[in-house]
Amino acid sequence: MGALVHPLVRPLVRPIVGPIVGQGGSEPPLAPLALPVSFDVDLYRDETGYFTDWTPATHEAAAYTGSTIYVSTTGNDTTGDGSSGTPYATADKAFTEASDLDIISFAPGVYGMPGALTKDLMLARTGSSGWVIFGSFLDISGATIGSYSGSGVTCDTLSTSDFGGVKPAGFLRTDYVGGHGVIGSMSWHVNTQAALIAQGYPCIYKASTLSYLTQPDGADLADLRTAGTILVWGESATDEFVIDGANVYLGEGLVFAGHGTDMVEIINGSRVVRDRCHFYGSADTNITVVGSEMFSYQSVNCGSINNAISYEQIFGQAVEVECVSVGPVANTSTGHGTGNILRVGGHYGEAQRVIHDIQTGYAFTFSSVIENHISSGQSAIRNSSSTQMIYGDMDISGTYSAGQIVDENTTNPAVVIDLEDAWPYS
């Protein structure tokens, strides 16, 4: 299995510490750009784009100086002691035994979704390859696999009758880093999926008694099942991971998938770092951040019938660096309440309002790709009357019924700062 790098991630970050030289080789070393509000991350630009020198492995990981506790699918919560030789079996057992600033190291494999985490911990993968997957998955070993062809696309089908009436709602493929189901809502149709497949997005469409699985690489579900390289979750996978009042580092190789209303919920003053990890949901919101902060680097977030990421209430600051967020019905990344958001070098798309900020505060989006190829798309970037929108060096394509940019702030209109423009802040 390869590294968890999504094919849509655009490498813009300069992963170094010290004097920053422009990505195009600019001299002399660049100074961080002044912003009207402060972030824990410095922003730079040169003739090739906006970027940052921030990477979690360099700037965040060293804070976790405690013991390492090991978890494995072959471990045991009763007889294990959390050592590498006798690991625990579950995340929740490791959380119970851990102290602040410990590292929980998971062997690659499939685990149940963690429950609540209230300690300052790093969650990491043991070794440098493989996936650590959290979720509840259906047993498809005896399921009947059907086929459907229409609207220019051929789909495999799974019947709810094989799962006690539970609708399959999403899938992961462990043989292909881009092969994760982007979830459509109940109102989406197969012709919409065809448009997404043409752009390289795998999909599930849930009808009343069937779920249609579509895969751009033409892989056959029966072959994937035989090879053991596909996991399918259903609408019964409603467990949620809650990070409550803690500083948590989610490391490379972690994957969270399911149908929880808020699949990952970050609350009560938490500070969470996402470092090259993946989130796939099929219910309301994949990640909800309430009164907390989240910093994301090269992480992938797909699906949901509402928001892929929702920053709620007073959350301070949020930073997304080179992240991919595609496939929700409403918004890929949306701010509410009060707070400031910085997005740099990301890839966002396939939603009604791709980036939608309605919080009181600043919303910066630089050197990012936004695309929309579904008929229900309304806007690429949209803000409310209380949000100060600032953006530049954007690559926007697709169809938007309300226009690419919708600025509802008539008091402080959007500020556009492309690479050739003078920097307005000091």
Q: What is the CATH number of the domain that holds 412?
A: 2.160.20.10
Q: Check residues 195 and 134 and name the one with the higher pLDDT.
A: 134
Is 346 within 8 Å of 368 (Cβ atoms)?
Answer: yes
How far is C-alpha 209 from the chain's CA centre? Answer: 29
Residue 46 included in any domain: no
| Amino acid identity at 218 | G
Residues 280 and 192 in one domain: no
Is 317 within 8 Å of 311 (Cβ atoms)?
Answer: no
Residue 39 included in any domain: no
Looking at 206, 234, 262, the residue that finishes a domain is: 234
What integer pLDDT is reported at residue 152 of this predicted model?
A: 74
| Residue 151: exposure state from Cβ atoms within 10 A (0-12, 13-18, ≥19) | middle
Residues 154 and 213 in one domain: yes
Residue 22 included in any domain: no
Half-sphere exposure of 142 (CA within 13 A, CB side): 4
Residues 270 and 411 in one domain: yes
What residues does 328 pair with on adjacent strands?
none
Residues 72 and 176 in one domain: no
Residue 48 included in any domain: no
Residues 196 and 244 in one domain: no
Q: Check residues 154 and 247 and name the one with the higher pLDDT.
A: 247
State which residues form the domain around 227. 145-234
Predicted model pTM = 0.92
Q: Which of 298, 157, 175, 295 has its CA nearest to residue 227?
A: 175
Residue 34 included in any domain: no
What integer pLDDT is reported at residue 239 of this predicted model?
A: 95
Residues 83 and 176 in one domain: no
What integer pLDDT is reported at residue 317 of this predicted model?
A: 94
Q: Domain count for the chain, please give it.
A: 2
Q: Is the pLDDT of residue 3 over 50?
A: no
Query: From CA 346, how far away is CA 368, in angstroms rounded?
Result: 5
Residues 219 and 109 in one domain: no
Residues 319 and 410 in one domain: yes
Over residues 84-115, the pLDDT tens digits come to: 999 999 999 999 999 999 999 999 999 999 99
Residues 260 and 405 in one domain: yes
Q: Is the pLDDT of residue 287 over 60?
A: yes
DSSP notation for 242-269: EEES-EEEE-TTEEEEE--TEEEEEESS
Looking at 234, 266, 289, the residue that finishes a domain is: 234
Looking at 199, 234, 269, the residue that finishes a domain is: 234
The CA-based dihedral angle spanning residues 73, 76, 81, 82, taken in that order and rounded to the nearest 10 degrees:
20
Q: What DSSP element (H or E) covers 57? A: helix 56-59
Query: From CA 29, how far away is CA 26, in angstroms rounded?
Result: 7
pLDDT band at 181 (very low <50, low <70, confident <90, very high): low
Q: Is the pLDDT of residue 178 over 90?
A: no
Beta-strand relationship, 379-383 and 353-357: parallel
Over residues 209-233, the pLDDT tens digits come to: 988 888 877 789 999 999 998 999 9
Residue 356 included in any domain: yes
Residue 38 included in any domain: no
Residues 206 and 265 in one domain: no
**Taking phi first (over 0 means left), then psi (-120 to 50 degrees means alpha), and beta for anything else, what does residue 338 get?**
beta
Residue 17 included in any domain: no
Kindly report the number of other CB atoms within 10 A of residue 96's CB atom: 11
Query: From CA 104, how far away is CA 329, in angstroms rounded?
Result: 34
Query: From CA 135, how far away is CA 111, in angstroms rounded?
Result: 6
Structure tokens at 266: 């970050």
Residues 368 and 275 in one domain: yes
For the chain, give percent helix, strand, coil, nearest 5.
Answer: 10, 40, 50
Residues 109 and 181 in one domain: no
| Amino acid identity at 338 | T
